[in-house]
Structure 1
């Protein structure tokens, strides 16, 4: 076998290994996360009920994600990266896919701004209980 063939085979093997590693890390990043649930105040409890009715089918009952949507209990959604305004906007007009491979999030027209405020209170409480400040 020539030196050129050995180099080509080595490069192909390295490329395949890189693709497999990248795909496995992307798949593991899209899985639901384990969530510690905090004690909730009245507003957060109201938000939890609204979240369960309107968001849990994609984001999971505890905001830990599902095979249909990402976990909101994740560093990507910390207030410094996704402020509350991002949640209001996502509900009102939807959002394009940018961190995960779940596709675009459609608007959720059935939820009014007061309800979004309560949902955010719930999500932020759960995030804080799981070390996301």
Structure 2
């Protein structure tokens, strides 16, 4: 007995739609450390402190918890897009920051990673 199978096309988002949904910059875009300083100071420093050292409002990003093998660069994009529930620290939840573009986020990540390397976090 043969059972017929009906296949239907699904609306699968293309690569560009997936990239945008993940809040990622265009393929091949590279964050530049120097271009990350200004948006970090504008959007992030109030909670994460000068050079990402933390405050009483937000955790330090220059900490082993945020090393690349524990928090990949994508996690920063998702945090900007969706916010973050407090899980490593007791500073409260981070709200989404819709004003930061994917390109600015990538520059901020480059800046944070450089600051981490300066203190031996790889």
RMSD: 1.1
Query: Shift of the alpha carbon at 1:61?
Result: 1.8
**2:55 counterpart of 1:53:** no
Q: Which residue of 1 aligns with 2:15?
A: none
**2:70 counterpart of 1:81:** yes
Deviations 1:62-86 (A, max 9, x none): 1000010000000000000000010
Q: Which residue of 2 aligns with 1:123?
A: 112
TM-score relative to the length of structure 2: 0.74
Unaligned runs of 5+ in 2: 1-30
TM-score relative to the length of structure 1: 0.68
Moved over 6 A (4+): none
The structure with more helix, counted as a fraction of residues: 1
Query: Shift of the alpha carbon at 1:47?
Result: 0.1
**Counterparts of 1:62 and 1:125 in 2: how far apart (Å)?**
10
Higher relative contact order (CA 8 A, sep 6+): 2
Unaligned runs of 5+ in 1: 1-41
Aligned length: 92
- Tell whether the 8 Å contact from 1:59 to 1:72 is kept in structure 2 after alignment: yes
- Tell whether the 8 Å contact from 1:51 to 1:61 is kept in structure 2 after alignment: no
